[in-house]
Amino acid sequence: MNRRCPRPSKRQYLDLGEHPLESGEVLPSVRVAYETYGELNVRRDNAILACHALTGDSHLTPHSAGDEPGWWDDMVGPGRALDTNRYQIICSNVLGGCYGTTGPSSTNPATGRPYGSGFPAVSIRDMVRIQYRLVKELGIHSLVTVTGGSMGGMQALEWALTYPDLVRSIIPMAACGRLSAQGIALNRVQRLAIMSDPDWQEGHYYGSAGPVSGLSLARMIGIITYKSEGLLAQQFGRRPQGEMRGKPPFDQSFSVESYLDYQGQKLVDRFDANTYLYLSRAMDLHDVARGRGGYEETLARIVCPVLSVGISSDYLFPPYQQREMVQILRRAGRDARYCELESPCGHDAFLVEQEALNLVIQEFLSGLNSEETGGLAWSRKASG
């Protein structure tokens, strides 16, 4: 069963036809799902591209009353960081996704059935190249900035290296140029949870319930890495979920366990398991230096201004990774700035702490041509 969740929003589609992948394989046809907010100016140079994370989609914020919430509701709109009175904001579902863009749940034109695990491997660079084709088809001459968190931040970095003439700045959040061994290990365990579920059926489960238990478990593991120990302690502690006395030991439940159960089922209801496999693997394989030389040498090729946002309590992408990128860029004489968001929310802070991020991004965008905000680092304490 394809567990994509339809949204009553202004999603648009663009058919791009054949597309070669970094692996050397060729997709015979690619469709991209995207949404826009705000209008392009006459010069067609006021666009901002927002890139989503692993389980995200193109829906940033409601377009009108009655529309579903998005994943960056408080970041997009008049007077906000992604100000629709000044910019046109674009967000597309990534290649390999399950929210309208071609991915493993899409129909393979050669067989008339979903690709499943026959879908070719995709990379962060493949995602960015599809976004580039979308941007050009929309007639955009340059991008004010490319921004996103986690996998979205990886895309922003790749944009600056692959299309430097089109990007005027980037704002990667809670991201780095290559995933750490710890990140790869955590993704491996999540994929094994899915692939060990007999209902995965080697990736060809469409038309059935699919690997419900495996995807749910993968999400639970992921959620643990997205939060901080302090936040879990504050929200749940050791509180029981209902009466525990007199029950068999494994029928007893803590509140944090019930929370994980809920989060696992919530993803099962809206996401495709194969997409989870493909996109998490794309994160593992991504290295901005691949085929370009050394890591520091490659990052030094980024010429546009960079705001790298770290999160103080991030376990998955620790803030030293964002500081390292800024230090490399500044040694190369680039305009690179670091902001550390002081938040207990862990990796998820780039989704949760939108009030603080609004101020950070507004400050950066307004100061792109000003020496006053060109310092190495500053911090922003989240209200929460």
What are the catalytic residues? 150, 314, 347
Distance, in Å, from the CA atom of 188 to the CA atom of 72, rounded to the nearest integer, reads 28
What type of residue sits at position 221? I
Provide the 3-class DSSP secondary structure of residue 130. helix
Other Cβ atoms less than 10 A from the Cβ of 11: the count is 18
Cα gap 171→365, rounded to integer Å:
10
| CA pair distance 156, 50, nearest whole angstrom | 9
Longest dimension (CA), the chain: 71
Strands (DSSP E) contained in 71-201 are 88-92, 107-108, 113-114, 143-149, 170-173
Distance CA 138, CA 125 (A): 20
Rounded Cα–Cα distance for residues 260 and 222 (Å):
10
Residue 100, token pair as written in the block = 């309208």
Q: For residue 3, what are the CA distances in angstroms to 9, 207, 266, 270, 277?
A: 18, 10, 11, 5, 14
Are 238 and 206 spatial neighbours (Cβ–Cβ below 8 Å)? no
The single-letter code of the amino acid at 28 is: P
Integer Cα distance of 7 and 99 in angstroms: 9
SS3 labels along 164-206: CCCECCEEEECCCCECCHHHHHHHHHHHHHHHCCHHHHHHCCE
For 284-337, give the DSSP string: HH-BTTTTTS-HHHHHTT--S-EEEEEETT-SSS-HHHHHHHHHHHHHTT--EE
Nearest to 252 by CA among 261, 243, 260: 243
